[in-house]
């Protein structure tokens, strides 16, 4: 039965590759990247185990615990990833629960994350080639580590499957995930600076790692990895105790997964839509009754209610906080000035970049544009109306905030000219290229964190072209703004006012040309674009 699940998984993957060359390229790139990380881990483990075995054991315990933690929690935010073998599809088959769990577990390893985890675990065990006894203990803990990763991940996602079917629950998990991702970098930066200020010696760092590893080694996260550490120190009872902790945790997770799976089969959630009280037409009542207004109302609704869109907007309010924390961690006032100088133009560029793949996000809704013959001009301008309604006030606000924080009122004219010009130019480039280059994105209702197969290579091409063109068309404005910032006296002030005029003029020119080119391209390639978008959901 396990072999049947593995063969089924491989067959589904092969069919996916035949359907799309981009997915094959994306898989190959992901596999090469994963193999590179495994190779680095292997070299580090072998060299560390040879020259500094005690420190290497502590690092392996902590790093292994993070791997298990990632397997348990990341799928909650990436809900729906790798759903080719959805357990619900086997509900009508008379497959014993034990066989079903074993088959799904084995199939989970036939993926890039699964295979990479197996190779990482084996690489960690090779650190103990000089000590056969420790190597034997590490090999005994290896299957437990892999089992905790896979079974824990499946148990968590299965138990939360009913909750995650709610759109509101997915949005909450998305918000929490975005907050964690945004907070991770500045927090790590602050911690690193605090530790650097303490001037800890290498021995003190090693003792701190040992203390943390001793605690983590007794948790289900680090127990299978900490067995080798205990064996290396000659603490065989500790190694046996950690073996018991890992085994008991794996048994408990296996039971929890089976219970959650059985419960989902016996009490399937209703797939029908819930009745909701709908009042009026929403945003459609607030926009003009024209093709441009209809498209704008639909796009504005997406920005407010679709986590794939609203999640991107959540980054914007966090940018000032992240830049200020990054500047403060350096302790130099010049760093704060530079960061604030970047805030408004960078925000404008991000906002102008956001609609660069709008048609792909429409998914099946784009069929309405093709079937009803929506003019390309109406489609292009309609998608940009909500962007400018939100982006222009935010850009102006951030420019003013930068001037207030740095105490440089003379910066306001060039900063506004550069930022508004960047917003218009980036939006114009997106309007043009989004009608030409599409790439796979999460489908409606899926997690915005999901990375569809084949999206990596195509997104690199599309995003690279967009960034390159946006930068190129904005070079004159950037040059004027930099001259205004650097040249002192009245000349610099005059250049700032010139930037305030030239920047928006160039941006609007690029915007108009981009919309015209994109409109013609969309009208010419409408059916092809629809076919391409539909293939992403096949």
pLDDT, tens only, 8-61: 777 777 776 676 666 677 677 778 888 888 899 889 888 888 888 888 888 888
HEC per residue, 295-353: HHHHHHHHHHHCHHHHHHHCHHHHHHHHHHHHHHHHCCHHHHHHHHHHHHHHHHHHHHH
- The least confident of 30-34, 133-137, 444-448 is 444-448
Q: Dihedral sign, CA of 277, 537, 387, 516?
A: negative
Give the whole-number percent of the chain exceeding pLDDT 90: 20
pLDDT, tens only, 349-398: 989 988 888 888 888 888 888 888 889 899 999 999 999 999 999 999 99
The pLDDT of residue 327: 66
- 335, 343 contact by CB (below 8 A): no
- 432 in the Ramachandran plot: left (φ > 0), alpha (ψ -120 to 50) or beta? alpha
Residue 362 CA from chain centroid, whole number: 20
As a whole number, mean pLDDT of residues 206-213 equals: 74
- pLDDT surpassing 80 at residue 336: no
Q: Dihedral sign, CA of 523, 525, 528, 533?
A: negative
- pLDDT surpassing 60 at residue 454: no
- pLDDT surpassing 50 at residue 417: yes
Q: What is the pTM of this model?
A: 0.63
As a whole number, mean pLDDT of residues 512-530 equals: 90
pLDDT, tens only, 217-276: 889 988 898 898 888 888 899 899 999 999 999 999 989 888 888 777 666 554 444 444
Residues whose CB is less than 8 angstroms from the CB of residue 344 and which lie 6 or more positions away in sequence, other chains included:
395, 398, 399, 402, 415, 416, 418, 419
Confidence of residue 157 (pLDDT cuts 50, 70, 90): confident
The two structure tokens encoding residue 453: 């197969």
- pLDDT surpassing 60 at residue 83: no
* Residue length of the chain: 538
Q: Which stretches of 91-142 are assigned E, i.e. beta strand?
A: none
Please tell me the distance from the alpha carbon of residue 23 to that of residue 13, in angstroms, as a whole number: 10
- 206, 55 contact by CB (below 8 A): yes
**Is the pLDDT higher at 67 or at 205?**
67
Average pLDDT over the chain, rounded to an integer: 80
The pLDDT of residue 94: 67
The pLDDT of residue 429: 93
Q: Could you please report the per-residue DSSP string of 147-216? A: HHHHHHHHHHHHHTHHHHTSHHHHHHHHHHHHHHHHHHHHHHHHHHHHHHHHT--HHHHHHHHHHHHHHH
The pLDDT of residue 505: 95
HEC per residue, 209-277: HHHHHHHHCCCCCCHHHHHHHHHHCCCHHHHHHHHHHHHHHHHHHHHHHHHHHHHHHHCCCCCCCCCCC
The pLDDT of residue 22: 60
- pLDDT surpassing 70 at residue 106: yes
**Is the pLDDT higher at 536 or at 194?**
536
Please tell me the distance from the alpha carbon of residue 213 to that of residue 219, in angstroms, as a whole number: 10
The two structure tokens encoding residue 251: 């048994």
As a whole number, mean pLDDT of residues 158-181 equals: 63
- 511, 368 contact by CB (below 8 A): no
**Is the pLDDT higher at 197 or at 391?**
391
As a whole number, mean pLDDT of residues 493-504 equals: 92
Provide the 10 A C-beta neighbour count for residue 449. Answer: 22
- 431, 295 contact by CB (below 8 A): no
Confidence of residue 428 (pLDDT cuts 50, 70, 90): very high
**Is the pLDDT higher at 10 or at 190?**
10
Confidence of residue 512 (pLDDT cuts 50, 70, 90): very high
Confidence of residue 81 (pLDDT cuts 50, 70, 90): very low
Provide the 10 A C-beta neighbour count for residue 532. Answer: 16
- The least confident of 59-68, 162-171, 408-417, 440-449 is 162-171
- 474 in the Ramachandran plot: left (φ > 0), alpha (ψ -120 to 50) or beta? alpha
């Amino acid at each position: 039965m396990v072999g049947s699940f593995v063969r089924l998984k491989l067959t589904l993957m092969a069919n996916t590759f035949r359907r799309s060359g981009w997915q094959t390229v994306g898989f190959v790139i992901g596999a090469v990247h994963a193999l590179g990380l495994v190779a680095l881990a292997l070299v580090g483990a072998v060299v560390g185990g040879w020259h500094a075995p005690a420190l290497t054991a502590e690092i392996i315990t902590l790093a292994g615990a993070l791997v298990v933690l990632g397997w348990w929690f990341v799928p909650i935010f990436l809900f729906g990833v790798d759903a080719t073998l959805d357990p619900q599809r086997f509900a009508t088959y008379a497959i014993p629960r034990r066989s079903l769990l074993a088959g799904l577990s084995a199939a989970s390893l036939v993926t890039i994350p699964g295979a990479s985890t197996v190779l990482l675990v084996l690489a960690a065990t090779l650190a103990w080639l000089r000590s056969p006894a420790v190597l034997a203990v590490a090999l005994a803990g290896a299957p437990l580590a892999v089992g905790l990763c896979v079974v824990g991940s499946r148990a968590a996602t299965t138990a939360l499957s009913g909750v995650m079917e709610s759109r509101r629950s997915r949005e909450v998990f998305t918000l929490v995930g975005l907050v964690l991702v945004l907070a991770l970098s500045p927090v790590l930066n602050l911690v690193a600076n605090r530790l650097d200020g303490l001037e800890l010696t290498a021995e003190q760092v090693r003792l701190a790692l040992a203390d943390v590893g001793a605690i983590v080694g007794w948790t289900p996260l680090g127990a299978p990895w900490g067995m080798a550490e205990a064996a290396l120190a000659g603490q065989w009872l500790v190694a046996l105790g950690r073996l018991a902790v890992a085994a008991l945790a794996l048994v408990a997770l296996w039971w929890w997964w089976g219970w959650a799976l059985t419960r989902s089969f016996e009490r399937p959630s209703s797939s029908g839509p819930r009745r909701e009280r709908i009042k009026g037409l929403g945003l459609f009542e607030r926009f003009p009754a024209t093709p441009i207004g209809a498209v704008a109302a639909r796009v504005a609704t997406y920005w407010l209610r679709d986590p794939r869109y609203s999640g991107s907007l959540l980054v914007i309010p966090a940018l000032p906080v992240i830049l200020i924390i990054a500047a403060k961690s350096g302790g130099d006032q010049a760093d704060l000035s530079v960061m604030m100088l970047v805030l408004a133009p960078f925000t404008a560029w991000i906002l102008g970049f956001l609609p660069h793949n709008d048609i792909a996000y429409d998914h099946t809704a784009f069929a309405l544009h093709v079937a009803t013959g929506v003019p390309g001009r109406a489609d292009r301008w309609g998608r940009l109306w909500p962007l400018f309604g939100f982006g222009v006030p935010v850009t102006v606000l951030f420019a003013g905030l930068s001037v207030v924080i740095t105490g440089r009122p003379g910066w306001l004219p060039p900063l506004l000219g550069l930022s508004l010009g960047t917003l218009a130019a980036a939006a114009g480039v997106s309007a043009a290229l989004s009608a030409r280059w599409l790439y796979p994105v999460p489908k409606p209702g899926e997690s915005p964190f999901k990375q569809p197969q084949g999206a990596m290579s195509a997104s690199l091409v599309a995003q690279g072209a967009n960034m390159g063109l946006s930068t190129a068309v904005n070079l004159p404005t950037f040059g004027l703004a930099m001259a205004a910032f650097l040249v002192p006296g009245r000349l610099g002030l005059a250049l700032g006012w010139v930037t305030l005029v030239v920047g928006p003029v160039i941006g609007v020119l690029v915007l108009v040309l981009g919309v015209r080119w994109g409109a013609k391209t969309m009208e010419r390639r409408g059916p092809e674009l629809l076919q391409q978008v539909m293939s992403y959901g096949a």
